């Protein structure tokens, strides 16, 4: 982003898990957001962060990390950007490939609805801004470098609240609900580097052509 690429969709692959502690009335007392990185072969250095949307009255926030080969999480500190409610998990995904990052929030009073974690990748710019790639239509943080929008293959319209979209069959980023490591095995296979995603998954094109109404589980096949 914002330019065309090889569309193998494997520069940064992350599994996201969500945990919550709740009572019989579904009132939430704690939430955890867990992100695990997978091997990739991208030449770029990409950081991983997430923006938290909605939450209860927080009494404590604790960060944890579990590196490959470790059985337990150990406590750590993540940079928190209060203005945008952003947690910076790592500035270089490749530095600790296979690592799991966990943020746990506990609440003073129960929350009635689950929070939403919106992951994104980034690179810091010399001017203090960031190159950020979010999921399609997700708004960037206040630290994004705005000059990228509308450049190259990007069709964002910030004045209309439209971000990270483009024409054609390939998004800049994608979220696969319920996908597991077996589903992603083709994307994680180094021999498939630079192979476009529609050449790896036969059902992908129909999913795009139908505007997501058909082949919803194309990545499961």
Q: What tens digit of pLDDT does each residue of 83-115 get?
A: 999 999 999 998 888 899 999 999 988 887 889
* Res 86: pLDDT: 96
pLDDT score, position 24: 84
What is the reported pLDDT for 192? Answer: 84
**Average pLDDT per consecutive 10 residues, the chain (221 residues; last block may be shorter):** 81 91 88 89 83 84 94 96 95 89 92 90 94 94 95 93 88 89 87 86 89 88 66
**Residue of 78, 81, 47 lying closest to 63 (CA atoms):** 78
At 21, list the tokens: 């502690």
Element (H, E) at 198: helix 197-200
Secondary structure E strands in 97-198: 100-111, 116-124, 130-134
SS3 for 67-80 is CCCCCCCEEECCEE
Residue 45, pLDDT score: 85
Provide the pLDDT for residue 42: 65
Rounded Cα–Cα distance for residues 172 and 110 (Å):
36
pLDDT at 41: 64
Q: What is the pLDDT of residues 57-83, one digit of tens each?
A: 888 999 999 999 999 999 999 999 999
pTM given for the model: 0.90
Q: What pLDDT, on the 0 to 100 scale, is given for residue 27?
A: 85
């Amino acid at each position: 982003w914002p330019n065309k690429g090889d569309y193998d969709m494997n520069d940064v692959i992350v599994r996201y898990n969500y945990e919550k502690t709740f009572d019989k009335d579904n009132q939430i007392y704690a939430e955890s957001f867990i992100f695990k990185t997978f091997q990739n072969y991208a030449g770029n250095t990409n950081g991983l962060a997430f923006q938290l949307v909605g939450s209860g009255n927080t009494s404590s926030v604790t960060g944890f990390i579990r590196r490959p080969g470790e059985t337990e999480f150990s406590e750590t500190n993540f940079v928190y950007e209060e203005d945008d409610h952003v947690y910076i998990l790592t500035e270089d995904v490749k530095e600790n490939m296979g690592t799991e990052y966990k943020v746990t929030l506990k609440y003073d009073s129960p929350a009635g609805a689950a929070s939403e974690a919106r992951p994104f990748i980034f690179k810091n710019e010399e001017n203090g801004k960031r190159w950020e790639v979010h999921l399609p239509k997700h708004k960037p943080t206040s630290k994004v470098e705005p000059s990228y929008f509308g450049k190259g293959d990007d069709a964002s319209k910030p004045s209309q609240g439209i971000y990270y979209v483009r024409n054609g069959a390939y998004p800049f980023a994608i979220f696969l609900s319920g996908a597991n490591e077996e589903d992603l095995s083709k994307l994680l296979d180094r021999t498939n580097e630079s192979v476009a995603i529609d050449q790896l998954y036969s059902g992908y094109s129909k999913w795009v052509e139908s505007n997501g109404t058909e082949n919803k589980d194309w990545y499961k096949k």
